[in-house]
Amino acid sequence: MYRVHCLLPRADAERLSDLLSEMDPSPASAVSVEEASKISWSLDAFCTSEELAKEAAAIIEWEIPSARAAVQKLDDKDWVAVSLAGLPAVHAGPFVVAGWHELAHLEGGKIPVWIEAGPAFGTGHHGTTKGCLEALARELKRKRPRRVLDVGTGSGVLALAAVKHGASFALGTDMDRESIRIANENAKNNSAGRRLKLMHARGTGHRMIRAHGPYDIVLANILARPLVGLAPELAKMVAKGGRVILSGLLTHQEPQVRAAYSGQGLTLVSRRRLNGWSTLTYARTAH
């Protein structure tokens, strides 16, 4: 595994992250943008080979001639887990997301979600996951849902949070089989039982997804491009009076995502911005 790293102004970092994420195919398997200081943001692209890493660096420097993209070979180990090891617990509304070493000392009054560092997306530290958890907490406080759908579940953190907060049933889906394997481990660790079902699927076309619908809450923490493409499907999955919570989009991508959902019988009821990422909550009218 190789990492391509550079420091850029926020607008440039977000634009390049968007570019690398939406390329098909992309030289980068994953891209992250984080605030490094008051004036610069860190752009990191992770690539499976040196050739792809050099390609990603070339794209960055072509788009931003003043950028200096450094290519670094990472050790042959679970680099995601290593990079996340020892991270502090994440507090989002009533939820505390952390590894067992942190949860062992957790005081009462909070809802623990046990997620160990690993390659599946969703430890709670990323702005999109935390934003979704906060939005989910607001909706769970408003009304206890019977059914929840989590598209692109990753580690399963959002679906787990829903059932641990009292949702009767949650279905988490992901197009990556390894993520589903890890999410199943997390489900066992959190004693989710039959209230949580996890399955490998793309989009919402699978018969099991449709059989359990409609859903009181639909979650999709993915990327802007698939969010736009899935707008008609996700809108059909939500029950009357239900909510759709979307994230995985950079703040400058909001207009295109909002345009895709504006004609789907949904109304934007809240927006949360965190570390350059947005979380949007939509409501379907009860009539």
Same domain, 140 and 238: yes
Same domain, 175 and 44: no
CA–CA distance, 274 with 69 (Å, rounded to integer) = 25
What does the pLDDT average to over 103-118?
77
Determine, yes or no, domain membership for 269: yes
Question: Of 46, 76, 106, at which residue does a domain stop?
Answer: 76
pTM recorded for the entire structure? 0.71
Same domain, 178 and 254: yes
Of 74-78, 108-112, 278-282, which gets the smallest average pLDDT? 74-78
Which pLDDT score, from 0 to 100, does residue 84 have?
Answer: 46
What does the pLDDT average to over 89-102?
81
Determine, yes or no, domain membership for 207: yes
Cβ-based burial of 250 (10 A; exposed 0-12, middle 13-18, buried ≥19) = buried
- CATH code for the domain of 19: 3.30.70.120
Which pLDDT score, from 0 to 100, does residue 271 have?
Answer: 94
- Whether 78 has a pLDDT exceeding 70, the answer reads no
Determine, yes or no, domain membership for 91: no
Same domain, 128 and 71: no
Q: pLDDT tens, 26-62?
A: 898 878 888 788 788 889 988 889 999 999 999 999 9
Same domain, 142 and 280: yes
Q: Residue 63: which domain range?
A: 2-76
Mean residue pLDDT across the chain: 86
- Whether 118 has a pLDDT exceeding 70, the answer reads no
Same domain, 257 and 182: yes
What does the pLDDT average to over 65-73?
92
- CATH code for the domain of 266: 3.40.50.150
Dihedrals phi, psi of 46, to nearest 5 degrees: -105, 125
Q: pLDDT tens, 206-262?
A: 999 999 999 999 999 988 889 999 999 999 999 999 999 999 888 888 999 999 998
Determine, yes or no, domain membership for 228: yes
Same domain, 67 and 133: no
Question: Of 40, 60, 76, at which residue does a domain stop?
Answer: 76
Same domain, 55 and 178: no
Question: Tokens 């794209």 appear where?
Answer: 59
Determine, yes or no, domain membership for 109: no
Neighbours of 220 (CB within 10 A): 26
**CA distances (Å), origin 78, targets 39, 45, 82, 83, 118:** 31, 16, 6, 9, 8
What does the pLDDT average to over 85-90?
60
Determine, yes or no, domain membership for 149: yes
> Per this entry, what is the length of the chain?
287
Question: Tokens 């009304």 appear where?
Answer: 143
Give the total number of structural domains in the chain: 2
What does the pLDDT average to over 59-76?
89
Q: pLDDT tens, 161-190?
A: 999 999 999 999 999 888 899 999 999 999
Q: Which of 192, 227, 5 is nearest to 114 (CA)?
A: 192
Same domain, 215 and 143: yes
4: Cβ–Cβ under 8 A, 6 or more apart, which residues? Answer: 28, 44, 45, 46, 47, 53, 56, 57, 60, 69, 70, 71, 72
Residue 7's beta-bridge partner residues?
Answer: 42
Question: Of 47, 76, 105, at which residue does a domain stop?
Answer: 76
Same domain, 149 and 216: yes
CA–CA distance, 220 with 242 (Å, rounded to integer) = 14
CA–CA distance, 270 with 138 (Å, rounded to integer) = 10
Same domain, 66 and 205: no
Determine, yes or no, domain membership for 84: no
Same domain, 31 and 132: no
Determine, yes or no, domain membership for 183: yes
Cβ–Cβ under 8 Å, residues 50 and 70: no
